[in-house]
Structure 1
């Protein structure tokens, strides 16, 4: 599909795709530091967690559907639609509450939650389509060096988001009189998104599917959405207010289980399923996605709980806790770029996967054994080490999957890898929050107030007042113990990911994207 493209055309298309992916990744974190001001302006304290949850639910549930659409219609059309939906959602988020209560949408905070979901519908495409289009532009033998940049983009945006959100919220009012600074957190997407759209429309080829397109199975798509949506919501609910045994949580999980079971049955019987379950017969697809599921949780566990340790154990400010994530991001960028370049030059992606996970285990072991007296600089070193180990997980597992799959299934296979990473993170974050809460409940002094899983995200982004004895030795020791157990669980996740990685077959990297070029995995 791209054989006649010049190198310049490929690189301009690549630049547009990375810019679009950057926007989608940035919006997962940029809102966190703006939330206190948003809540104050829109009077929505009771719904503030849904601003993030709405985006997460939409951007997770739509990923497999985008993959199927990419195998059915022109990749360029799908990418343009995703960017446009994202930009419309961004504009609407910035306008939330400007015109008072609206019919069906209610007050400004409810409007923002709905508009964030619209943003997420577009954001899902920005993630999924980036890896799919890169696979079209470059054959597997060359793809590693380019997919390494996706890890760099993701790592950079994860850290840049909170700082940019805080900066725009604090300074934006001085730039545009009468406009609340937090609205610029959403408006900043518009010029960057339009630039990405220009690249895509003017430089990107159509990238049409290689096979005759068939109509999308809309009923399967509905079952998938009604399964994944309630599942992610149930995992994100504050378990202090809605424990696992509460009617709401159990009801959501029941709806998710029934819908997903019906989705599997429908997919196995339909001639054109959203996700071809025959992919799971491929040894590379199955084992690599299993590893991604576990490692996605390990990555999120570090990002969420390390700042909590900084604030409640070392007693640093929320800003300094946020700064501490920069070495992690730098490590991810370096590890991703290095692994991508080395695999494109020498092949043997499996060695780099295993090597990265061994380094990650070393970094996590240091984090899991930190005493309450550990220094700030020591933690930065441990985080950098974890980042180096995490870096190869961004591009190489997806590369291995794409290399083993026939091009006409590339969209489904690639989006599945993104989906398993994201859903693994959502499930693991909930489990880790439960571990933290349980450990604190048995470790904190009786007069202290435990921090809930929801509050753990708020501590860093909003810096709320902690209990009066938060800096007491007993309090610091309790948090140190609890977070050490969280990291210990993370170690088990990475060990599981390593065992799955050992089962991933090492296949020669294809030098072409031609149909029938995928190497056959070894017999099971």
Structure 2
């Protein structure tokens, strides 16, 4: 449950930062500020495996608590320093702004992703791939995804999933590339520490240090690319 709460909170950080940058700076300067965000990400991703390894060797429960002081400092800084321009024609009370959120589409999409992840995680491990449980999860994921598309197409004026984004071939190819790259990257981030510890017998600290050979090039390219763009 604690990991799920962390996941929900963490999933909103990067999109929120990018949206704030879009509201605060011009398109010409956006790459520079996105590189600064990438630098923060690089610092955390390089320090995280080593610090996480130390925590795993001492008291792994601190993995869940270490975000509290850092998150509190970030939250206070947002309230003190962040000033978003009030240039939205749809401005109004916050409870009216909530009506613009596509809760139905978001719920069906999240449920679809959860079913798909459970099916791929349990298949071949807890259940066989041909078991009714795994098949039912795949079917549920497909049905919920179709429901998300229907909601986005017919039932809301501001859908979470804008189908118009997929009409352009160049953008569609870019989305596919991003999904493929992110899938490969996060699969490595998740499984490499397990491989180092289980197959090689390394300690959590050593496994975290070995992850730097993968993370450092990725982070450097992320920072440099923003300035080049």
Compared with structure 1, are the counterparts of its residues 279 and 183 closer, same or farther at alpha carbon in structure 2 (3 Å cutoff)? Answer: same
Distance 2:105 2:151 in 1: 7
Contact 1:153 1:333 in 2 (8 A): no
Structure 2: unaligned runs, 5 residues or longer: 91-96
Match among 7, 12, 20 for residue 133 of structure 1: 20
Q: Is the aligned partner of 1:300 residue 2:186?
A: yes
Distance 2:173 2:76 in 1: 38
Distance 2:127 2:160 in 1: 32
The residue aligned with 1:191 is 69
Distance 1:200 1:165 in 2: 26
Contact 1:307 1:321 in 2 (8 A): yes
Match among 191, 209, 219 for residue 323 of structure 1: 209
TM superposition shift of 1:210: 2.4
The residue aligned with 1:261 is 146
Compared with structure 1, are the counterparts of its residues 131 and 170 closer, same or farther at alpha carbon in structure 2 (3 Å cutoff)? Answer: same
The residue aligned with 1:142 is 29
Distance 1:167 1:292 in 2: 32
TM superposition shift of 1:251: 1.2
TM superposition shift of 1:279: 1.7
Q: Is the aligned partner of 1:201 residue 2:49?
A: no
Q: Choose between structure 1 and 2 for higher RCO, CA contacts under 8 A separated by at least 6 residues.
A: 2
Contact 1:156 1:330 in 2 (8 A): no
Q: Is the aligned partner of 1:250 residue 2:162?
A: no
Q: Is the aligned partner of 1:228 residue 2:113?
A: yes
Distance 1:304 1:182 in 2: 17
Number of residue-to-residue matches in the alignment: 220
Q: Secondary structure at the match of 1:245?
A: coil
Contact 2:49 2:209 in 1 (8 A): no
Q: Any runs of at least 4 consecutive aligned residues in structure 1 with deviations exceeding 6 A, and if so which?
A: none
Contact 2:38 2:219 in 1 (8 A): yes
Match among 147, 152, 158 for residue 272 of structure 1: 158
The residue aligned with 2:175 is 289
Which stretch of structure 1 is more off in the superposition, 130-139 or 304-313?
304-313
Distance 1:248 1:283 in 2: 36
Match among 332, 338, 341 for residue 224 of structure 2: 338
Contact 2:152 2:159 in 1 (8 A): yes
Compared with structure 1, are the counterparts of its residues 308 and 230 closer, same or farther at alpha carbon in structure 2 (3 Å cutoff)? Answer: closer
1:325-345 CA-partner distances (Å, limit 9, x unpaired): 2122221222122222222xx
Distance 1:323 1:246 in 2: 39
The structure with more radius of gyration: 1
Compared with structure 1, are the counterparts of its residues 264 and 322 closer, same or farther at alpha carbon in structure 2 (3 Å cutoff)? Answer: same
